[in-house]
Amino acid sequence: MKKPLFSPIIMAFVALFILAIIPNKWIENFIPKSRISQSATELNPFMFQGKYVQEKMLEDAHYLPMYGSSELARLDRFHPSNYFQVTKAGFTPFLVGRGGTESLIHFMNFSEHIDSLKGKKIVFVLSPQWFQPRGTDESHFVPNYSSLQGYDLAFNNKVNPEVKKLAIKRLLLFTPVKNDPILSALYRAEITNDPLTKQKASLVRPFAFAYRNLLEKKDLFYTFAGGVPRSREISPLVKHQSWDQLAKQADQVGAKSATNNQFYVINSQYNKFKKDLPSLRNYRPHATYKNSPEYQDFQLVLDVLKQAGAKPLFISVPVNGKFYDYTGFPRSGRMVYYQKIKNQIEAEGFQVADFSNHEYDPYFMKDTIHIGWKGWVYTDKAIEDFLKESKNKNKDEVVRAK
């Protein structure tokens, strides 16, 4: 007997309706307590494009949030996730980001959690290659964009309105936003005084609210289902070592890992571009990181963190100086970035660990752009110093209050 054509469609709507009416708190009760700790090094996009896991993480003083991009995935014995675990530092770095996660994405994420960032110490790793002349592009933005965070921003009345408008103008340039008829209508109403545009936004607002609730539900179901745990090296060899000893150990590991090239690049990465090396010589003689829309996007990050009352430490990562020199990328085009970004951060009263003078340090970088063995050692020390300083400041404030 032939099955009715509309049966699967009806069943799908029934299933969707049932899922929609299940209370969020009911779903949360079934999410394993271990899901937050599991997510700390998982680098699962569902986690940092969602809301629930990060909310719970930010509520827990045991976690130190670390925001960045692809360098976070370079897990080795010197990586903060390993170092602070085996040295029993009393906290766990929680990694948020992946390749292509640049300032606009981080801004949306911070905006979503603005209430949870007050007084929160965080680490933010900056990469020079974000600051291309045209800024972030579709290939980096689209895979990391979160519809939930996009809709949350539309309903967010806590972010400074002027900052929010600047962000919306940038977001409307990207396809996931401008091609979403409901979200783009809400966004356009935020940045115009046109009555017709605002009327259109009023009409779609209830649908936007309902859709955002479904996205929140989706986030909870994904969190309940969990991800695939990321395998990583857990090495006790960094335990009971001074910083000088760790730096020497990093040199030794790097020297064994980068044996087939003059750039101190790990062999596996060098092999990927070895055949193209002749064509890479002096091919970027006019390159610079001086001017980029990314500076304005990064200012949005600074603005929302300052408004939230967060306490960030920014890690200014260098590039591989030897390789960049080989490609003809002028050193002046790199140095202007290092100084510009340092000034931008310090102008807001935030701390920055500036590693720009380590461009030529062997094994500071793991490849041409990603921080590596010795770079992580310096980062670990900067984080430790930052946390100690913050702790001492808090003690001083308590003493003064008495």
Q: How confident is the model at residue 398 (pLDDT cuts 50, 70, 90)?
A: very low
- Percent of residues, the chain, with pLDDT higher than 70: 90
pLDDT score at 47: 86
Among 37, 29, 68, smallest CA distance to 53 is for 37
Residue 18 clears pLDDT 60, i.e. is over it: no
CB 198 within 8 A of CB 189: yes
Name residue, tokens 């699967």.
8
Own/partner contacts of 50-56, CB < 8 Å, gap of 24 or more, are 50/146, 50/148, 50/219, 50/222, 50/223, 51/112, 51/113, 51/148, 51/149, 51/152, 51/216, 51/219, 52/28, 52/219, 52/220, 52/223, 53/223, 54/96, 54/109, 54/112, 54/113, 55/113, 55/116
pLDDT score at 392: 65
What is the distance, to the nearest Å, from the Cα of residue 147 to the centroid of all Cα atoms in its chain?
16
pLDDT score at 1: 46
Question: Could you give the CA distance from residue 234 to residue 168 in angstroms, rounded to a whole number?
Answer: 42
CB 127 within 8 A of CB 369: yes
Q: What are the tens digits of pLDDT across the range 183-203?
A: 999 999 999 999 999 999 999
Q: Which of 36-40, 175-179, 361-365 has the lowest mean pLDDT?
A: 36-40
CB 162 within 8 A of CB 133: no
SS3 call for 163: helix
Q: Which of 81-90, 228-237, 291-300 has the lowest mean pLDDT?
A: 228-237
Average pLDDT over residues 79-106: 96
Q: Does residue 21 lie in a domain region?
A: no
Q: How confident is the model at residue 226 (pLDDT cuts 50, 70, 90)?
A: confident
Q: Does residue 3 lie in a domain region?
A: no
CB 147 within 8 A of CB 172: no
Question: Could you give the CA distance from residue 388 to residue 169 in angstroms, rounded to a whole number?
Answer: 39
Q: Does residue 27 lie in a domain region?
A: no
Q: Does residue 156 lie in a domain region?
A: yes
Q: How confident is the model at residue 10 (pLDDT cuts 50, 70, 90)?
A: low
Residue 141 clears pLDDT 50, i.e. is over it: yes
Average pLDDT, the chain: 91
Q: What are the tens digits of pLDDT across the range 147-171?
A: 999 999 999 999 999 999 999 999 9
Residue 16 clears pLDDT 90, i.e. is over it: no
pLDDT score at 399: 44
Question: Could you give the CA distance from residue 306 to residue 312 in angstroms, rounded to a whole number?
Answer: 9
Higher-pLDDT residue of 175, 41: 175
Average pLDDT over residues 325-350: 98
Number of H helices, E strands in the chain: 20, 5
Q: Does residue 137 lie in a domain region?
A: yes
pLDDT score at 222: 87
Question: Could you give the CA distance from residue 130 to residue 122 in angstroms, rounded to a whole number?
Answer: 20
Residue 117 clears pLDDT 50, i.e. is over it: yes
Q: Does residue 35 lie in a domain region?
A: no
CB 47 within 8 A of CB 54: yes
Please provide residue 258's backbone torsions phi and psi, each rounded to the nearest 5 degrees.
-125, 85
E strands, 317-388, where? 351-354
SS3 call for 235: coil
Higher-pLDDT residue of 393, 343: 343
pLDDT score at 33: 85
pLDDT score at 233: 65
Q: What are the tens digits of pLDDT across the range 206-219?
A: 999 999 999 999 99
Average pLDDT over residues 355-370: 97
Q: What is the dihedral of CA 254, 257, 263, 269, to 10 degrees?
A: -130
Higher-pLDDT residue of 9, 56: 56
Domain that holds residue 394: 40-401
Average pLDDT over residues 302-313: 98
Q: Per the structure, how many domains does the chain have? A: 1
Show Cβ contacts of residue 29 under 8 Å, excluding neighbours closer than 6 positions.
Answer: none
Name residue, tokens 């509309």.
6
Question: Could you give the CA distance from residue 304 to residue 149 in angstroms, rounded to a whole number?
Answer: 14
Q: What are the tens digits of pLDDT across the range 258-285?
A: 999 999 999 999 999 999 999 999 999 9
Question: Could you give the CA distance from residue 105 to residue 102 in angstroms, rounded to a whole number?
Answer: 6
CB 320 within 8 A of CB 368: yes
pLDDT score at 396: 53
Question: Could you give the CA distance from residue 102 to residue 192 in angstroms, rounded to a whole number?
Answer: 27
Q: Does residue 23 lie in a domain region?
A: no
Output the 3-class SS for 168-213. HHHHCCCHHHHCCHHHHHHHHHHCCCCHHHHHHHHHHHHHHHHHHH
Question: Could you give the CA distance from residue 356 to residue 377 in angstroms, rounded to a whole number?
Answer: 15
Question: Could you give the CA distance from residue 268 to residue 320 in angstroms, rounded to a whole number?
Answer: 16
Q: Does residue 77 lie in a domain region?
A: yes
